[in-house]
Structure 1
Amino acid sequence: MPTENLQKPRAIPPETTSGDDPLLRLQAESEPEDSPRIQTTHHLDPITITGITVMCPKCGARRDWLVICDVPGRVFLRCRCAHQWHEPELTRADFKAMTGEGGQNYPSLEAIARDVGYDGTLAGTYLPADGTP
């Protein structure tokens, strides 16, 4: 008895091009062109993820973060030493919880870093916990 005819053929998914992602297309259509591309907030306290306090891998800082959320919802942490990394354990919901009603909007990451002192000029500096100079 031949076994090649016992399996039913599987459905073949339609071919899509790399630029034809329906989720990305829906997101682009639902967001106005003038919507902010980057939102940020300062987080002066330590950030703990799954019970572990976040530490900058470059300088060892444990608090005073610039938290960045971009349009796809990725969250990045940036230290005063200008080291920045994507933190996959943090989500847009976590960012919203840190900012409350909103963060400050900027046209570019370079403008953010320069304006709020996360461009490396204040490397090794901890500001007071209440945020006053």
Structure 2
Amino acid sequence: MPTQDIQQFRAILPEATSGDDPLLRLQAESEPDDAIRIQTTTHADPIIITGITVMCPKCGARQDWMVICDVPGRVFLRCRCAHQWYEPELTRADFEAMAGEGGQNYPSLEAVALDDGYDGTLAGAYLPDDRVGLS
């Protein structure tokens, strides 16, 4: 068969506009507007990273943390004095190991901080751990 008789068929795709990113469109279609984008948990024990106990740079606390994980998987620590910082050594897997199952949904990070006492009102206070029973 001569090569001039072979036709190549190519799919003709509609031209995309500059603001029409297919991945962003898919994400917008698959995620509801009220999707949870931040997860939090509390961690009463000290957190040790590469052999060093984490310490709040503002008040010096060494335990009783709020651990926050956002959608990209960044992990933040928040102290009872309301100081919060990004901790690059912690990953989403570390967060999930601390979080466990369950939890409650809150409308904002400020609401969960207020409800759990990480809004600064309990600065310097260490609350008893739920796991420790009184004898």
Does TM, normalized by the shorter one, top 0.5? Answer: yes
TM-score (norm. length: structure 1): 0.73
Q: What letter matches 2:41 in structure 1?
A: T
5 Å-filtered alignment, 1:29-48, equals 30-48=30-48
% identical aligned pairs: 83
Q: What letter matches 2:109 in structure 1?
A: L
CA contact (8 A) 1:38 1:105 kept: no
Question: How far apart are 1:35 and its partner, in Å?
Answer: 1.6
Distance 1:37 1:68 in 2: 11
Report how many aligned residue pairs link the two structures: 115
TM-score (norm. length: structure 2): 0.72
Provide the residue aligned with 2:3 in structure 1: none
Instruction: Give structure 1 stretches of 5+ with no counterpart.
Output: 1-16
Compare relative contact order (CA 8 Å, sep 6+) and give the higher one, 1 or 2: 1
5 Å-filtered alignment, 1:56-67, equals 56-67=56-67
Provide the residue aligned with 2:94 in structure 1: 94
RMSD, aligned α-carbons: 2.5
Q: Tell me the secondary structure at the aligned position of residue 101 of structure 1.
A: coil
Structure 1 runs (4+) deviating above 6 angstroms are 19-26
The alpha-carbon distance between structure 1 residues 55 and 25, as it changes in their structure 2 partners (threshold 3 A), is farther
